[in-house]
A = this chain, B = another copy of it.
Amino acid sequence: MKAWLSRLSADLKNPPASPAELARFELDHALPGTAYTLDPVPALGEGYCIRRRSDSSVIISGGPTGLLYGAYALILRMLSGEGIPDVLESAPRYPLRMINCWDNADGSVERGYSGRSLFFEGGRLSYDPFRMRELGRLLASVGLNVLCINNVNVHDPAQQLLENMLPEAAALADLFRPFGVRLMFSVDFSQPMRHGVSSADPLDPAVRAWWKAAAERVYQAIPDLAGFLVKADSEGRPGPFTYGRNHADGANMLAEAVRPFGGVIVWRCFVYNCRQDWRDTKTDRPKAAWEHYAFLDGKFAENVILQVKHGPFDFQVREPVSPLLLGMKQTNLAMELQLAQEYTGHQIDLYTMIPMWRELFDEIPENNIMSLAAVSNLGRDENYTGHPLAAVNLYTYGLLAWDPAMEAESAVSRWVRLTYAFDPDQERTLTALLLSSRRTYEKYTAPLGIGWMITPHDHYGPNPSGYEYDLWGTYHKANRDAIGIDRTAAGTGFLLQYPESLRKKYEDPETCPDLLLLFYHRLPYSFRMKDGRTLVQRIYDDHFEGKKETEAMAEILEALPFPDPDREIILSRMELQKRNAREWCDIINTFFRRLSGVDDLHGRVIYD
């Protein structure tokens, strides 16, 4: 077994018949000395209750999948040395804890850094059943229960998942079912037009009829399919706008088709003008999601979930929470995270995400969202996540999706304990390193919330003006005096989308958190930060620190007794990260010194 399950038996040669059977297999192999009873309580659903009897045997009560989640909870707590209290009751906070794979039918993975697709190759489903079971165990062990296997950008022939690939897709669904994992498919909004329907207009009866028939066919093959995931009118994808319809029209039409079968429509809100003219200062991309969706609050069917990226841009290293997640009280919302390290180091640089997620959960009122989704960081690499330490993001995502109150440190240290047989000092060292890795990455990359100073398209490595005159709406407009976009009421007005308390906090540079200053404000290089440093000196300092911290991390990793092959992968990628941190540090500092003409106060080298 791989990743944090490395101490479980690898012997799961055949698919178990049910979650309960799987629970027994895992318990028998992982805790051979422990007497246990599985006590089915259907009403508990995914929840479970573990009780220790006086004879130290245990009884696990739970619904059909709750038994499995309880078994894993018991196993992982015992293996990690944490142990269990006499009574441990738990149930997931969110009903849908989703993984979105951006896997293409040709076997490539969009923004994938862990090898090729686990599910597809050569235009068709193609997978190793053993690895599917391994993946099922990984997901089940942290309570993840929905797996969307194909890219939201549905490239031909992935549409065939609803067509002639359906029998094979049903076989894959069968394979995951005992793991409590339901499949989901990304669908192409224009799919009826592949079948002689003359439009994809959601109000056209022929279109509605096509989707109804399609849903019926699909659910006959996969009765527990979670539903469809849709990226519409976004970055060139087809959608309702073509027909003068809004996104409620589009989503509700699909929702009607899957409702008889208990399916949901997960509708992504990543809609913005990706052909913006850089000269246009009226359009401000972070405003886009709100403008497209907020007025539709309350208009969506009950089985529609709007899936909103956590920040208003696109998975930058530091963004405020998307205002859409704070509004839309009458709508089902899912927050979308990204495990794939698209902008955060490509699973070469270390970037443990849970500190960032904690900030998000602390900002979003408890009941504003009802599900979670995360873009997958999985691939065909032997270790599934490319970088062995990137697995901590999949693991902690599962933990947070189950219980968003989970603390970052305990989640990460649990993962460390399960994954590596380290002594307590080493455990603490690695836990601290992982927890600090996001801030380090942030320090040496784009400063103070400005974002986007990354190599266009590829999204690894620095390019301070790479997007400056491009069509993506992501500008910093740095000149010799100042940098940033004013997003207050005096500027683009983006801040007006927030509740008043947040708006007030952010609109004044004196109360806005330093790390978000350049997200909201245009400021001169001479601006005084709260600690008295100038903006440009703060930028220099962060970058020198980020580089230095990376070098320190390299020494720490070198000293830790990672087993092979992890050690070789971790150390060789750290060499690349050190190079990357140096490039970022030097280029960003040079960029700001060329513009500002200001030397570093401490005389460190900034190149001409």
- Could you tell me which A residues sit within 8 Å of B by CB distance? 278-279, 281, 462-466, 469, 477-481, 583, 586-587, 590, 593-597, 607-608
Contact of A479 (CB < 8 Å), options: B478, B479, B586, B597: B597
Residues of B close to A481: CB separation below 8 A: 597
Considering the chains assembled together, what is the distance between the CA atoms of A326 and B554 in angstroms?
52
- Nearest-CB distance from A280 to chain B (Å)? 10
Considering the chains assembled together, what is the distance between the CA atoms of A607 and B282 in angstroms?
13
- Nearest-CB distance from A606 to chain B (Å)? 10
Considering the chains assembled together, what is the distance between the CA atoms of A478 and B608 in angstroms?
9
Residues of B close to A478: CB separation below 8 A: 594
Are B479 and A469 in contact (CB-based, < 8 A)?
no
Considering the chains assembled together, what is the distance between the CA atoms of A157 and B583 in angstroms?
37
Are A608 and B463 in contact (CB-based, < 8 A)?
no
Are B480 and A480 in contact (CB-based, < 8 A)?
yes
Considering the chains assembled together, what is the distance between the CA atoms of A597 and B278 in angstroms?
19
Residues of B close to A607: CB separation below 8 A: 278-279
Subset of 16 A-B contacts with CB under 8 Å:
A278-B587, A278-B607, A281-B608, A462-B469, A464-B465, A465-B465, A466-B466, A469-B587, A477-B594, A479-B593, A479-B595, A479-B597, A479-B608, A480-B480, A480-B595, A480-B597
- Nearest-CB distance from A362 to chain B (Å)? 36
Identical chains in the assembly: 2
- Nearest-CB distance from A544 to chain B (Å)? 15
- Nearest-CB distance from A473 to chain B (Å)? 15
Residues of B close to A279: CB separation below 8 A: 586, 607
Contact of A608 (CB < 8 Å), options: B466, B477, B597: B477
Residues of B close to A477: CB separation below 8 A: 594, 608
Considering the chains assembled together, what is the distance between the CA atoms of A515 and B260 in angstroms?
73
Considering the chains assembled together, what is the distance between the CA atoms of A595 and B478 in angstroms?
9
Considering the chains assembled together, what is the distance between the CA atoms of A389 and B281 in angstroms?
38
Counting chain B CB atoms within 10 Å of each CB, which of A279, A583, A595, A597 scores highest? A279
Residue of chain B at shortest CB distance from A279 = B607
Considering the chains assembled together, what is the distance between the CA atoms of A464 and B478 in angstroms?
14
Q: A466-B466, A480-B595, A480-B596 are in contact. List 19 more A-B contacts (CB 8 A).
A: A278-B607, A279-B586, A279-B607, A281-B608, A462-B469, A463-B469, A469-B583, A469-B587, A477-B594, A477-B608, A478-B594, A479-B594, A479-B595, A479-B597, A479-B608, A480-B480, A480-B597, A481-B597, A595-B595
